[in-house]
Amino acid sequence: MPSLDSGPEGGGGRVAGAYVQPLLELAVERGVDLRALALAAGLPAHALSPQPESLAAQDYVRLLDAGAQLAEHPHFGLQVGERVKLGTYSVYGLILLSCRDFGQVFQQTQRYESLAHDLGRSALVVDNGVAEYQWNSHFPQASRHLAESVFAGVRVFGEWLAGAPLPPAAVAFSHAAPSDCSEHRRIFGADVVFDAPRNCARFDAALLALPVPNADVGLYPVLQQHAEQLLRKKMRTQAHAGIVAQVGAAIARSLSQDRARLPLVAQDLNLTQRTLQRKLSEAGASFQQVLDRTRRELAQDYLRQRSLSLADIAFLLGFQDQSAFNHAFKEWTGSSPGSWRERTGAP
């Protein structure tokens, strides 16, 4: 099954709902309807309203691109990042607020960043008095909006923690330069380069000793204990998500051969039916839910390929006929396959 995600989180990476909020706020402010945004990103029409507790990381990446396109905004990612606030990072943000200095802030970021999102991971390298903050994306094929949103968010939140403007840092992006870099220089300063080996920001390592004003360091042990519990829960959830991904992949391989049925998929995975059902239940899913989601995602991928007719797609997805496919697709998205293909501008 096609996926944007080639990083270590695989298909199980998530983004917390609070981290999605700035994106949705900006889209609405720019006149984008949330239903249209969801559909353009390949999500069910109702997926964004009410705001979800979390989203698949690959869906968030698609939302960034869909928001930029629908809002006709070349700096959509930058402005999403500028909208971050304390609540955007949930418990992780509260931990940063209880750190004694920026050295500890970076240390805790590396530990708890995944509580906000699985879009990438931060690292800090210090050498000869120069600190380099690196952000390693889990979506190296994503558009520039992803890395730009992350770095703008780091800049804004860092200044909020410091209670004052931070000194300019030399910022480097691995993607190509856009036609207009004025917003990048407004946010990061004059020293911004593109087509770099990695996404990073370099600054005087002395900044790591900068205290966090008004930090409630007494709260740190309590918050850390809570964050560790959340981290363990997240790891268990991701372990459960592994079986869902395996079942989804097995279903995708089996659809066109009319083998996407529970007994046959269980056999492909060397499991009994009862064991497979139990594992899916522990992951909060059923075989039918995984089947429907896999079919929906594949259907949207196929609809983007103009060379495939609706009858072809119905066959590839294992439906008895095109009418059954049309009915199922409308249930998933609120739209017919043909209307969805035209609205999303599939080539």
134, 49: one domain = yes
Q: Are 243 and 128 in contact (CB under 8 A)?
A: no
What is the spatial distance between Cα 44 and Cα 334, in angstroms, rounded to a whole number? 8
Looking at the predicted structure, is the pLDDT value of residue 282 above 90? no
Q: Which pLDDT score is estimated for 232?
A: 86
Q: Which of 29-38, 180-189, 204-213, 278-287 has the lowest mean pLDDT?
A: 278-287
Q: Which pLDDT score is estimated for 189?
A: 92
Q: For residue 183, what are the contacts with CB-CB under 8 A and spacing of at least 6?
A: 75, 78, 79
Q: Give the mean model confidence (pLDDT) for residues 219-237.
A: 86
Tokens of 83: 């909208």
Is residue 4 in some structural domain? Answer: no
Q: Report the 10 Å Cβ neighbour count for 221.
A: 10
Is residue 3 in some structural domain? Answer: no
Q: Give the mean model confidence (pLDDT) for residues 215-227.
A: 89
Is 336 strand, coil or helix? coil
Helix pair 322-333, 287-303: axis angle to 10 deg = 100
Q: Are 122 and 198 in contact (CB under 8 A)?
A: no
Report residue 112's pLDDT band, with 50, 70 and 90 as the boundaries. very high
Q: Give the mean model confidence (pLDDT) for residues 279-290.
A: 87
207, 231: one domain = no
Domain count within the chain: 2
Is 335 strand, coil or helix? coil
Residues 62-75 pLDDT 10s: 999 999 999 999 99
Q: Is the dihedral of CA 41, 44, 45, 50 positive or negative?
A: negative
Report residue 9's pLDDT band, with 50, 70 and 90 as the boundaries. very low
User: Residue 163 burial (CB < 10 Å; 0-12/13-18/19+)?
Assistant: exposed
Residue of 131 and 45 predicted with greater confidence: 131
Rg over CA atoms, the chain = 22
In sequence order, what DSSP letters do the residues of 153-209 get, joined into one string? HHHHHHHHHHTSPPPP-EEE-SSPPPS--HHHHHHH-S-EE-S-SS-EEEEEGGGGG
Is residue 190 in some structural domain? Answer: yes
- Most confident range, picked from 18-32, 39-53, 239-253, 267-281: 18-32
| Model pTM above 0.85 | no
207, 230: one domain = no
Is residue 2 in some structural domain? Answer: no
Q: Which pLDDT score is estimated for 345?
A: 61
49, 182: one domain = yes
Q: Which pLDDT score is estimated for 197?
A: 95
Tokens of 312: 């072809």
Residues 230-265 pLDDT 10s: 888 887 777 666 788 889 989 998 898 888 999 999
Q: Give the mean model confidence (pLDDT) for residues 212-232.
A: 89
Q: For residue 125, what are the contacts with CB-CB under 8 A and spacing of at least 6?
A: 131, 132, 134
User: Taking all residues of the chain, what is their mean pLDDT, rounded to a whole number?
Assistant: 89
Cα angle 334, 338, 340 (rounded to 5 degrees) comes to 50
273, 204: one domain = no
Looking at the predicted structure, is the pLDDT value of residue 311 above 70? yes
Q: Give the mean model confidence (pLDDT) for residues 157-183.
A: 94
116, 19: one domain = yes
Q: Which pLDDT score is estimated for 178?
A: 95
91, 202: one domain = yes
Residues paired with 10 in a beta bridge: none
What is the spatial distance between Cα 258 and Cα 277, in angstroms, rounded to a whole number? 20
142, 237: one domain = no
Q: Domain end: 215, 243, 276, which one?
A: 215
Tokens of 36: 């249209």
Is residue 1 in some structural domain? Answer: no
Looking at the predicted structure, is the pLDDT value of residue 144 above 80? yes
Domain around 261: 224-343
Q: Which of 302, 294, 292, 295 is nearest to 344 (CA)?
A: 302
186, 274: one domain = no
207, 259: one domain = no
Q: Which of 199, 198, 241, 232 is nearest to 10 (CA)?
A: 241
The H or E element spanning position 14 is strand 14-16
Share of the chain above pLDDT 70, in %: 94
Q: 179: domain CATH number?
A: 3.90.1520.10
229, 192: one domain = no
Q: Give the mean model confidence (pLDDT) for residues 147-155.
A: 97
